[in-house]
Amino acid sequence: MEEYFSPGHTACAGCGMPIVIRHALDVIGKDVIVVNATSCLEIVSSAYPKSAWGVPYIHSLFENSGAIAAGAVASLRVQGNDHTKLVIFAGDGSTYDIGFGVLSGMLERNDDVLYICYDNEAYMNTGNQRSGSTPFGAATTTSPAGKVKHGKTQWKKPIAEIVAAHKIPYVATASIGYMADFENKVRKAKDLKGARFILVLSPCVTGWNYDSAKTIELAKLAVDTGLWMLYEIEDGKFKLSHRPQQFKAVADYLRMQSRFKHLNEDEIKFIQEHVNKTWAEMK
């Protein structure tokens, strides 16, 4: 099997992001153009004159990948190419926050682009600052655990739901802890037309601060605790992809990561109750 994202990139040991990219490209194949928002991915894969990319790749800026892809796909189609797929790989910072307007424009126009957000829940490229994706309670350098504030005081922005509100053909959430599910979603999304969006949880060793051997375990635990829900919204129809038979305690997940180490029992209970309530509403 040909590798479209080569070894030799400089991502940290245990980083979830290269796993996302490799598996997504394995499914998508070589007839693709990758658009990448400024992120760790761009830094680890494209330091001139080297490149880890075996498929055409363009990085422009932090917050414009939705529009770069929209223009590129329009250009290809006008030139008579009706087959090459446009795939965006962007982090949560550019997706939830700074590129949000451009993303919304791309979704509203239903541009023929597959947008894959690898979500590591903070600005990791600049050294772990809070984003709209950072979960409640997580300590980052701009939502530190202090004497008065214990990490981020807001919940995570429900980006997949906001994206789905644009009524695009396909929205899904995934986790690299459930790789077959992620690959199936990429497989389904790649052949659909119009704007498609997959949000995939991708642990960050340095930002979340955990044992780098446990990336997949952690990504799986996020799902098994109910903190990260796997679902699809296809043509407006919501479908749960996975319901844990026996939910694990959120504390099991939180205690594996230093970003949550400051949380007291009451705070962990508060998060657990939030998860319980979310799932109760799912019935």
Q: Interface residues with another protein (CB under 8 A)?
A: 30-33, 35, 42-43, 46-49, 51, 53-61, 63-64, 66-79, 84, 101-102, 104-105, 108-109
Query: What are the residues facing 89 on neighbouring strands?
Result: 36, 116
Burial per residue of 172-189, b for 16 or more beta-carbon CB atoms within 10 angstroms, e otherwise: bbbbbbbbebbebbbebb
**Could you tell me the smallest distance in angstroms from the CB atom of residue 244 to another protein?**
39
Burial class (CB in 10 A: 0-12, 13-18, 19+), 75: exposed
**Could you tell me the smallest distance in angstroms from the CB atom of residue 62 to another protein?**
9
Peptide bond into 49 cis (omega under 30): yes
Nearer to another protein, 110 or 129 (CB): 110
**Could you tell me the smallest distance in angstroms from the CB atom of residue 258 to another protein?**
29
**Could you tell me the smallest distance in angstroms from the CB atom of residue 262 to another protein?**
34
Task: Write the single-letter amino acid at 35.
Answer: V
| Residue 31 backbone dihedrals phi, psi, to 5 degrees | -85, 70
What is the rounded distance in angstroms from the CA atom of residue 230 to the CA atom of residue 241?
Answer: 5
- How far does Cα 242 stand from its chain's mean position? 18
**Could you tell me the smallest distance in angstroms from the CB atom of residue 151 to another protein?**
31
Position of tokens 């682009």? 113
Nearer to another protein, 42 or 121 (CB): 42
Nearer to another protein, 103 or 222 (CB): 103
Nearer to another protein, 69 or 122 (CB): 69
Nearer to another protein, 43 or 179 (CB): 43
